[in-house]
Amino acid sequence: MAGGTLPGTDADDDAGSDRVVFHVDMDCFYASCERLRRPDLVGEPVVVGMGYEAGETIGAVATASYEARAFGVESAMPISEALDLLPRRADADPDDPDAPDPVDAGRYVPVDLDFYKEVASDVKAVLRDCADVVREVSIDEAYLDVTDRTAWDAAGDPDDPPPSAASGPAAARTLAEGYARHVKQRIEREAGVPASVGVAPNMSTAKVASDADKPDGLVVVPPGEVAPFLASLPTADIHGVGPVTERTLAEMGIETAGDLAAADPDRLAEELGERGPDLHRRARGDDDRAVTPTGLPKSLSRESSLSATADEETKRETVRALAADVARRARERGCLYRTIGIKAVEPPYEVNTRARSLPGPVDDPDLVESVALDLLDEFAGDRVRKLGVRVSKLDFAESDQATLGGFEPGDGAREGRDAESGRGAVGTGGDGGKLTDWIGGEPTGAESDEDDETAADRRTGDGQASLGDWS
**Total domains present in the chain:** 3
What is the arithmetic mean of pLDDT over 289-300? 81
Confidence of residue 319 (pLDDT cuts 50, 70, 90): very high
Q: Do 153 and 238 reside in the same domain of the chain? A: yes
Answer whether residue 182 shows pLDDT above 90.
yes
Q: Do 24 and 63 reside in the same domain of the chain? A: no
Give the C-alpha distances (Å, rounded to integers) separating 427 from 118, 350, 352: 17, 16, 11
447 is a domain residue: no
pLDDT at 97: 62
Q: Do 276 and 308 reside in the same domain of the chain? A: no
Give the best-scoring range by mean pLDDT among 165-179, 282-296, 324-338, 412-426: 165-179
pLDDT at 54: 65
Which phi and psi angles does 375 have, rounded to 5°?
-65, -35
pLDDT at 42: 94
239 is a domain residue: yes
pLDDT at 331: 86
What is the arithmetic mean of pLDDT over 203-224? 94
Q: What is the pLDDT of residues 81-125, one digit of tens each?
A: 898 999 888 765 566 666 666 677 899 999 998 899 899 989 998
Q: Do 75 and 143 reside in the same domain of the chain? A: no
pLDDT at 95: 62
CATH code of the domain covering residue 99: 3.40.1170
pLDDT at 127: 94
Q: Do 246 and 169 reside in the same domain of the chain? A: yes
pLDDT at 363: 93
Answer whether residue 142 shows pLDDT above 60.
yes
pLDDT at 424: 34
Q: Do 390 and 255 reside in the same domain of the chain? A: no
Q: What is the 3-state secondary structure (H, E, C) of the chain?
A: CCCCCCCCCCHHHCCCCCCCEEEEEECCHHHHHHHHHCHHHCCCCEEEEECCCCCCCCCEEEEECHHHHCCCCCCCCEHHHHHHHCCEHHHCCCCCCCCCCHHHCEEEEECCHHHHHHHHHHHHHHHHHHCCEEEEEECCEEEEECCCCCCCCECCCCCCCCECCCECCCCECEHHHHHHHHHHHHHHHHHCCCEEEEEECCHHHHHHHHHCCCCCCEEECCCCCHHHHHHCCEHHHCCCCCHHHHHHHHHCCCCEHHHHHHCCHHHHHHHHCCHHHHHHHHHCCCCCCCCCCCCCCCEEEEEEEEEEECCHHHHHHHHHHHHHHHHHHHHHCCCEEEEEEEEEEECCCEEEEEEEEEEEEECCHHHHHHHHHHHHHHHCCCCEEEEEEEEEEEECCCCCCCCCCCCCCCCCCCCCEECCCCEECCCCCCCCCCHHHHCCCCCCCCCCCCCCCCHHHCECCCCCECHHHCC
Known catalytic residue at 188: no
Which residue, of 283, 310, 333, is where some domain finishes?
A: 283
pLDDT at 437: 34
pTM of the entire predicted model? 0.65
Answer whether residue 9 shows pLDDT above 60.
no
Answer whether residue 34 shows pLDDT above 80.
yes
Q: Do 66 and 161 reside in the same domain of the chain? A: no
Q: Do 128 and 174 reside in the same domain of the chain? A: yes
> What percent of the chain is modeled with pLDDT above 90?
53
pLDDT greater at residue 417 or residue 112:
112
Answer whether residue 375 shows pLDDT above 50.
yes
Q: What is the pLDDT of residues 328-367, one digit of tens each?
A: 888 877 889 999 999 998 888 788 999 999 999 999 999 9
180 exposure class (CB count in 10 Å sphere: 0-12, 13-18, 19+): buried
Q: Do 142 and 273 reside in the same domain of the chain? A: yes
Confidence of residue 288 (pLDDT cuts 50, 70, 90): confident
Count of residues for the chain? 471
> What percent of the chain is modeled with pLDDT above 70?
77
55 is a domain residue: yes
Answer whether residue 276 shows pLDDT above 70.
yes
Q: What is the mean pLDDT of the chain?
A: 80
d(CA 387, CA 318) in angstroms, rounded, equals 7
Confidence of residue 160 (pLDDT cuts 50, 70, 90): confident
pLDDT at 420: 29
Answer whether residue 192 shows pLDDT above 80.
yes
pLDDT at 72: 95
CATH code of the domain covering residue 362: 3.30.1490.100
450 is a domain residue: no
Answer whether residue 69 shows pLDDT above 80.
yes
Q: What is the pLDDT of residues 444-457, one digit of tens each?
A: 333 333 333 333 33
39 is a domain residue: no
Range of lowest pLDDT (18-32, 71-85, 184-198, 354-368): 71-85
127, 134 contact by CB (below 8 A): yes
Residue 382: give the domain boundaries.
Answer: 299-438
pLDDT at 467: 37
What is the arithmetic mean of pLDDT over 68-76? 92
Q: Do 95 and 159 reside in the same domain of the chain? A: no
Q: What angle do CA 140, 176, 10 make, to 5 degrees?
A: 120
22 is a domain residue: yes
38 is a domain residue: no
Confidence of residue 383 (pLDDT cuts 50, 70, 90): very high
pLDDT at 98: 62
pLDDT at 38: 93
Active-site residue identified among 141, 303, 346, 350: 141
3 is a domain residue: no
pLDDT at 426: 27
What is the dihedral sign for C-alpha 118, 59, 418, 392?
positive
Range of lowest pLDDT (48-52, 231-235, 404-408): 404-408
Q: Do 314 and 411 reside in the same domain of the chain? A: yes
Q: Do 24 and 146 reside in the same domain of the chain? A: yes
Answer whether residue 66 shows pLDDT above 50.
yes
